[in-house]
Amino acid sequence: MMGRFFGGVHPDYNKDLSRGKPIETMPVPGRLVVYLSQNLGAPSKAVVKKGDAVLKGQVIAESGGFVSTPVHAPVSGVVAAIDTFPHPVGTDLPAIVIEPDGNDRWADGCDVERDVDALSSAEIRDLVHDGGLVGMGGATFPTHVKLSPPPEKPIDVLVLNGAECEPYLSADHRMMVEHAEEILDGAALFARVIEVGRVIVGIEKNKPDAIAAMRERAAGREGFEVAALDVVYPQGAEKQLIFAVTGRRVPAGGLPMDVGVLVQNVATCRAAREAVRFNRPLIERVLTVTGRAIAEPKNLLVRVGTPFEDIVAFCGGMSGETGKIISGGPMMGVSQYSLAAAVTKGTSGIVLLRRDEVAQFVSDACIRCGRCVEACPMRLDPSTLSILVERMRFDDAGETGVNDCMECGCCAYVCPSRRPLVQHFRRAKAELRAKARKAG
Amino acid sequence: MLTAILALAAVALALSFVLAIAARVFAVDVDPRAEKIEEALPGANCGACGLPGCSELARRIAEGKADIDACPVGGAAVARAIAAIMGQDFAGGGVRRVAMVMCNGGDESARRRFWYNGVRDCNSAALLFGGDKSCAYGCLGLGTCAGVCPFGAIDMTGAGLAVVDPARCTGCTKCVDACPKGIIRMVPADRTIHILCSSHDKGAKTRKVCAVGCIGCMKCVKAAPEGAIAMDRNLAVVDYEAEIPPEIAGECPMKTIHVRKLDGLADLDAAAGGER
Ligand code: SF4
Ligand code: SF4
Ligand code: SF4
Ligand code: SF4
């Protein structure tokens, strides 16, 4: 039951720059900036103070609520400071700064293999929480929360997201080529927690080697299959992916569990294997450093907290004049004004564009051409929405569905008037959130 | 032809009776005082009183459900006129309050951290790293406040600063609510000493990002009469109840203290040139 979702666009993929590069491990930098906000939801609460010695894998911040996760020391060393730093999402946020001691020593109990077959599903879920797992595709939603659906929403399919539809990025692609077995091992753990027999891996057709590697490993596993998906952005968006692999439609404002599906990113699956089977919490991730303004594009395994500056230096520095630095992919990522930010659990890539690649434009009035309506995968009317926002009619924008916007950027990509549509919708959502907060 | 005209005339006559009856049956008693009060109100329909418009406020005042000085825009003069209509006394008055943008870090004093190419609106710009201004507390200069001011009282300087003209400002506070940086304060119109900075950063950091920011050195606090200037988290704040001599401006090493002249608007015009 394969479907093609409504809307979407075909941007230049530019994945050739990095997709052939095997994952390289980056050495630990001289200083790590570990944000307390590593997940969507409540930020974590620091449990260490300046001057404390910490070991790799030790909890340095506890969950700040149910929709929150603990944060672990990515390296052994000393807490040098707790202060605010520019976070890649676009605000200054508190972080724990760790100076490594050079030993890279694990805390007691970490890095020890467990007998996973003896674990109950509740125990696995707790280990997923304790390991600090979040959605590593970029959304950083705490994984244990996704694994706790209410009883009235039974789940029968686990979908692994290997679409990686964002232009330029290739980290998940390399992960599937090089670590297929580990991804599926982690997925099997998730399948056990939510008691599903069917696991479908969705991968865009432009990654034939990843499809082959995953098919080969999935063959031996009962109920596992790999679906090759059309190449169209945003194929990897949750609702669009679910429709493509199962034909089920998640209602507006609904969640995947409303149609019996759980989606997990492939990198998250591998992290689950590490955390549950080996008691290695989430302290490192693979990301893509790419774009024509970086000397040597790479797929890198880096510690959480590694400053962008060190990563760019490790990739040979910038080449030519850099016009834009983006954390994440060019469609949904956030422009950075400096390299001061550091890697979070959700940093899927750093894209550096040359000045001549960055279009400079002025936006115009909406000409009501309707292209954005055709492109919007959420079936919204970005044209009307943007005009409402310009007139500061935020309530009307809310009623017209602005909160369903996933900020995929398809509308802005096709708009001939170059209207800053996504920024308008972010603003409207922020205003509506502030209003809801005020109303209590 | 003739029948058609007669028929229409008959219909018109019948309808006019219906209307005449309806006018009596559905008549609404309008308090004549409400009409007079509405005439006395500024008629800007700005909403600063919290009601949909001037006529609604007029109705409520006439019914005794709103105070006679409920219009912040009209001030004491309008309140006095309404008091006369209502046959009440109005003793209040006092000094008019006007808005003031507590930032003097224009482009020549504070830097832009990056090149912003998005929606020309302060609230939208503030979504990305709080805006492009080097100082986290500084005026972004995209004029959202000027856009919401119903009285056109806010000018944008060439240096990217919003400046309120106290002569045109009615004190409706709309701009205060609109500014994402929260740097617009209501101040008594007759005060001359103002500290034009909102930064709670430590002095060393402020000095790095702005040439005219308050660095918290406390020189003004010591030179001013006891309690007239107080420190609030690295920022000197004027107590507008106190009298402060204009010489205080000379004490500030950062030239953050502004002496506003009350005669005419010459100093504000000079601000457009960048020095105030
Ligand atoms: S950014 Fe929002 S409105 Fe625009 S295409 Fe995507 S979902 Fe639709
Ligand atoms: S694509 Fe742009 S110009 Fe066309 S209708 Fe949408 S917002 Fe308006
Ligand atoms: S005072 Fe506030 S709203 Fe007005 S221009 Fe400055 S930042 Fe924008
Ligand atoms: S400057 Fe501010 S307080 Fe004064 S009239 Fe304009 S919006 Fe109202």
Question: Secondary structure of chain B in the HEC alphabet?
Answer: CHHHHHHHHHHHHHHHHHHHHHHHHCCCCCCHHHHHHHHHCCCCCCCCCCCCCHHHHHHHHHCCCCCCCCCCCCHHHHHHHHHHHHCCCCCCCCCCEEEEECCCCCCCCECECCCCCCCCCHHHHCCCCCCCECCCCCCCCCCHHHHHCCCCCEEECCCCCEEECCCCCCCCCHHHHHCCCCCEEEEECCCCEEECCCCCCCHHHHHHHECCCCCCCCHHHHHCCCCCEEEECCEEEECCCCCCCHHHHHHCCCCCEEECCCCCCHHHHHHHCCCC
A246 close to A256: Cβ distance less than 8 angstroms: no
Polymer length in residues for chain B? 276
> Cα distance from A336 to chain B (closest Cα, Å)?
9
Q: Tell which atom from ligand 2 comes closest to the C-alpha of A370.
A: 5
Gyration radius of chain A's alpha carbons = 21
Q: Tell which atom from ligand 1 comes closest to the C-alpha of A421.
A: 4
Q: Give the pLDDT confidence of B207-265 residue by residue, as tens digits.
A: 999 999 999 999 999 999 999 999 999 999 999 999 999 999 999 999 999 999 876 54
Q: Tell which atom from ligand 1 comes closest to the C-alpha of A410.
A: 5
Tell me, rounded to whole angstroms, the distance of Cα B275 from its chain centroid. 23
Where residue B271 falls among pLDDT bands split at 50, 70, 90?
A: very low
Where residue B137 falls among pLDDT bands split at 50, 70, 90?
A: very high
- Taking alpha carbons only, the member of A209, A203, A204 closest to residue A177 is A209
* pLDDT score at B265: 43
* pLDDT score at B273: 34
Given a cut of 90, whether residue A285 has pLDDT beyond it is: yes
Looking at per-residue pLDDT, the higher value among A2 and A25 belongs to: A25
The ligand with the least distance to the CA atom of A371 is 2
Q: Identify the residues whose C-beta falls under 6 Å from ligand 2.
A: A 366-372, 382-383, 386, 414-417, 419
**Across the interface, which of A91, A337, A420 has its CB nearest the CB of B113?**
A337
Closest Cα in chain B to A358: B117
Compute the distance from residue B154 Cα to the ligand 3 centre, in Å: 10
Residue A263: its H or E element: strand A261-265
Looking at per-residue pLDDT, the higher value among A17 and B2 belongs to: A17
Q: What is the mean pLDDT of chain A?
A: 94
**Across the interface, which of A337, A338, A427 has its CB nearest the CB of B127?**
A427
Q: Give the pLDDT confidence of A352-403 residue by residue, as tens digits.
A: 999 888 877 788 899 999 999 999 999 999 999 999 999 999 999 999 999 9
* pLDDT score at B263: 65
- Rounded to an integer, what distance in angstroms lies between the CA atom of residue B44 and that of residue B30? 21
- N- to C-terminal Cα distance for chain A? 44
Looking at per-residue pLDDT, the higher value among A158 and B57 belongs to: A158
Residue given tokens 């970029």 in the structure block:
A138
Given a cut of 50, whether residue B276 has pLDDT beyond it is: no
Contact A420 B118 (CB under 8 A): yes
Q: Hey, how many other C-beta atoms are within 10 angstroms of the C-beta on B109? A: 21
Residue range A168-186: mean pLDDT, rounded: 97
Given a cut of 80, whether residue B270 has pLDDT beyond it is: no
Residue B206, token pair as written in the block: 């402020």
Q: Does B76 touch chain A (CB under 8 A)?
A: no
Tell me, rounded to whole angstroms, the distance of Cα B74 from its chain centroid. 13
Query: Mutual orientation of helices A171-178 and A266-278 as an angle, nearest 10°?
Result: 50
Compute the distance from residue B155 Cα to the ligand 4 centre, in Å: 11
What Å distances lie between residue A236 and A12, A73, A190, A200, A233, CA to CA?
16, 30, 19, 13, 7
pTM greater than 0.90: no
Q: What is the DSSP string of A177-243?
A: HH-HHHHHHHHHHHHHHHT-SEEEEEEETT-HHHHHHHHHHHTTSTTEEEEEE---BTTTSHHHHHH
Residue given tokens 């308090």 in the structure block:
B31
Ligand 4 neighbour B175 (Cβ under 6 A): yes
Burial of residue A42 (CB within 10 Å: 0-12, 13-18, 19+) is middle
Closest Cα in chain A to B115: A337
* pLDDT score at B269: 37
By DSSP bridging, strand A53-54 and strand A59-62 are: unpaired
In chain A, what residues touch B129 (CB-CB under 8 Å)?
Answer: 86, 90-92, 337
In chain A, what residues touch B130 (CB-CB under 8 Å)?
Answer: 91-92
Q: Does B128 touch chain A (CB under 8 A)?
A: yes
Using most ligand atoms within 8 A of CB, pick from A366, A400, A405, A418 the residue to mutate for ligand 2. Answer: A366
Q: Give the pLDDT confidence of B53-104 residue by residue, as tens digits.
A: 888 888 888 888 888 888 878 777 788 888 888 888 777 667 789 999 999 9
Q: What is the DSSP letter of A392?
A: T
Residue given tokens 């010489």 in the structure block:
B247
Residue given tokens 């200083």 in the structure block:
A31
* pLDDT score at A430: 94
Where residue B268 falls among pLDDT bands split at 50, 70, 90?
A: very low
- Rounded to an integer, what distance in angstroms lies between the CA atom of residue B204 and that of residue B268? 29
ipTM of the complex model = 0.80
> Cα distance from A337 to chain B (closest Cα, Å)?
6
Q: Hey, how many other C-beta atoms are within 10 angstroms of the C-beta on B120? A: 14
Given a cut of 60, whether residue A2 has pLDDT beyond it is: no
* pLDDT score at B274: 32
Ligand 3 neighbour B66 (Cβ under 6 A): no
Given a cut of 90, whether residue B36 has pLDDT beyond it is: no
Contact B132 A427 (CB under 8 A): no
Contacts of A323 (CB under 8 A, 6+ apart): A293, A353, A354, A355, A356, A357, A358
* pLDDT score at B56: 87
Q: Tell which atom from ligand 3 comes closest to the C-alpha of B140.
A: 7
Task: Indicate if the alpha-carbon torsion angle A303, A309, A315, A321 is positive or negative.
Answer: positive
Nearest CA to ligand 3 atom 2: B179
Closest Cα in chain A to B121: A390
Compute the distance from residue A422 Cα to the ligand 2 centre, in Å: 12
- Rounded to an integer, what distance in angstroms lies between the CA atom of residue A27 and that of residue A44? 26
Closest Cα in chain B to A91: B129
Tell me, rounded to whole angstroms, the distance of Cα A181 from its chain centroid. 21
